Amino acid sequence: MEPVPHANTNLRRAPVQQRSAERLARILDACAELLDETGYEQLSTRAVAIRAGVPIGSVYRFFSNKRALTDALARRNLDSYAERITERLAVIPTTDWRGAIDAVLDEYLAMKRSVAGFAFIDFGAAAPEEDPANDANQRVAGRLAELLSGHLGGTFDEDLSRTVLVCVEAADALLQLAFRTDPSGDQAIVAETRVLIRAYLASVLD
């Protein structure tokens, strides 16, 4: 078979064949499902192997422990998020930055409500106390700045990166609040988040 490239670098060994890539996907899918069912503390590599229908050695072929496994799931989530936004941006006029920002927020909300395991880790560590320097928001902001600059025709520079990072940090805090007591997200807080982000970006993009 032809080698299959894999963008997730948080692996002991990247899959080089289609069969290995499919096995890795099953492992990550199983991890996501079990996170929803048991949470991170009760998650185990053995349980993931059983759910995925693979030998435990197959899990350890790719991941040294459950932390590495959930980190890889977070990276896959970010790749999926970027793909979803790219599809949305393809039909949004390049002059409509508000539409682009709505797409960024809407796709996050859609994943939060429907993607297995996403409520526990989205793009970062499932156990943040184990990694206080986790840079998930930096990674998200970098990817979004690249996508938005490409779509809107702006310059992908330090100023844009900082602006997008401020938006990501603010939205992250507010959306955590929105989902804290409502599993589908408090609509009023979500709406206020959209207003806040638009108002801040208006001073930069208008």
Write out pLDDT tens, residues 56-87.
Answer: 999 999 999 999 999 999 999 999 999 999 99
**How far is it, in rounded angstroms, from Cα 206 to Cα 200?**
10
The pTM of this model reads 0.87
**How far is it, in rounded angstroms, from Cα 167 to Cα 99?**
15
Residue 18: predicted pLDDT: 81
Closest CA to 74 of 30, 122, 107: 122
117: left (phi over 0), alpha (psi -120 to 50) or beta: left
Residue 7: predicted pLDDT: 46
Residue 10: predicted pLDDT: 56
Phi, psi (rounded to 5 degrees) for 155: -95, 125
Residue 19: predicted pLDDT: 84
Residue 154: predicted pLDDT: 75
**How far is it, in rounded angstroms, from Cα 28 to Cα 48?**
8
Residue 126: predicted pLDDT: 66
Question: Which residues of the chain are under the pLDDT cut of 50?
Answer: 1-7, 9
Q: Cα 65 to the chain's mean position, in Å?
A: 20
Phi, psi (rounded to 5 degrees) for 43: -70, 140
